[in-house]
């Protein structure tokens, strides 16, 4: 569900002040995180990696890969 800026503002106004501060901190975190990657407002997540292992001849499902990634952490 996409929410417009006015809707976001209205919802934030309903929060108590201490939670408004948390929202602001989180927004700052996101801005800093993506600012360093030079992501523009119009950019979106890309699936240009999709099918990247199709030539690898690996017999493993995406779910198995997710489980393996959790083991590696």
Give the pLDDT of the chain (73 residues) as one tens digit per residue: 556 787 888 899 999 998 999 999 999 998 888 876 655 555 667 777 777 777 777 777 778 888 888 888 7
Give just the sign of the alpha carbon dihedral 20, 36, 72, 68: positive
pLDDT at 21: 92
CA distance between the termini of the chain = 31
pLDDT computed for residue 40 by the predictor: 58
For 15, 52, 53, the CA distances from 56, given in Å and listed in that order, are 50, 8, 5
Q: What is the DSSP letter of 10?
A: H
Give this prediction's pTM.
Answer: 0.42
């Amino acid at each position: 569900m996409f929410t417009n800026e006015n809707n976001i503002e209205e919802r934030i106004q309903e929060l108590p002040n201490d939670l408004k501060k948390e929202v602001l901190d989180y927004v700052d975190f996101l801005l800093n995180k993506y600012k360093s990657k030079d992501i523009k407002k119009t950019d979106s997540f890309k699936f240009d990696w999709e099918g990247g292992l199709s030539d690898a001849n690996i017999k493993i499902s995406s779910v198995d890969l997710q489980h393996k990634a959790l083991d590696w952490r």
